């Protein structure tokens, strides 16, 4: 949902640039500049560079610019996993918590699994299981297969990696 803020910022910049361009063109045509611009230039010409208000304004503008750069470079909607675009006009996403719940339910169907914790990030699925009566390697192998298939069934655009850890109950880490 960064399209709306980006569109608003672009519109404001476009309008501001249009006003400045109009003012420069009117000055070049022999008319006086806009009153607010004359006042602003007179005010700035009379201030020293180490003026507190000038430094505070510059710091605020620099912080705003840095924040806009951070927003531009970081991905939006981090809690959503992008799904495959089966229909070109439809964009879908799956919440990471919902994906973790689906994968946990699929893992709990495996015999010998007592409990499972599943964490889903943008790049990796981590499953930590507790197995109580079967061999740990067999349970891990079954979990790898079932969770690998379940990740494929989620229909994600980018398939995350899978990491499975199995242990016996009672051992704390």
CA triple 100-105-110, angle to 5 deg: 125
> Quick one: pLDDT at residue 172?
60
- Of 73, 95, 117, which residue sits at a domain end? 73
Task: For residue 84, give every residue at least 6 positions away whose Cβ sits within 8 Å of its Cβ, in sequence order, or none.
Answer: 155, 156, 157
Tokens of 163: 């990491």
Mean pLDDT of successive 10-residue segments in the chain (173 residues)? 77 93 91 87 86 92 90 79 86 92 96 94 94 92 96 92 93 57
The number of distinct structural domains making up the chain is: 2
Task: For residue 76, give every residue at least 6 positions away whose Cβ sits within 8 Å of its Cβ, in sequence order, or none.
Answer: 1, 2
Do residues 152 and 124 share a domain?
Answer: yes
Give residue 67's domain range. Answer: 3-73
> Quick one: pLDDT at residue 168?
92
- Of 54, 73, 92, which residue sits at a domain end? 73
Do residues 23 and 94 share a domain?
Answer: no
Of 115, 169, 106, the C-alpha closest to 142 is 106
> Quick one: pLDDT at residue 57?
92
Do residues 58 and 88 share a domain?
Answer: no
> Quick one: pLDDT at residue 2?
65
| 173 within domain boundaries | no
| 172 within domain boundaries | no
Do residues 91 and 135 share a domain?
Answer: yes
**How many angstroms separate the CA atoms of 50 and 56, rounded?**
10
**How many angstroms separate the CA atoms of 65 and 9, rounded?**
12
Q: Is 110 left (phi over 0), alpha (psi -120 to 50) or beta?
A: beta
| 59 within domain boundaries | yes
| 60 within domain boundaries | yes
């Amino acid at each position: 949902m960064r399209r709306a803020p980006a569109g608003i910022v672009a519109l404001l910049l476009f309008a501001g640039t249009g006003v400045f361009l109009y003012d420069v063109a009117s000055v070049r045509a022999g008319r006086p500049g806009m009153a607010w611009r004359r006042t602003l230039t007179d005010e700035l010409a009379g201030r020293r560079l180490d003026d507190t208000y000038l430094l505070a304004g510059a710091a605020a503008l620099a912080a705003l610019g840095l924040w806009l750069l951070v927003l531009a470079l970081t991905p939006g909607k981090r809690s959503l996993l992008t799904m495959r675009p089966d229909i070109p006009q439809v964009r879908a996403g799956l919440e990471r918590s919902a994906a973790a719940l689906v994968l946990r339910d699929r893992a709990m169907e495996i015999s010998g699994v007592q409990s499972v914790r599943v964490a889903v990030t943008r790049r990796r699925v981590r499953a930590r299981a507790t197995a109580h009566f079967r061999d740990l390697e067999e349970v891990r192998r079954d979990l790898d297969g079932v969770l690998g298939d379940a990740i494929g069934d989620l229909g994600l655009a980018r398939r995350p990696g899978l990491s499975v850890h199995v242990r016996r109950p009672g051992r704390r880490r």
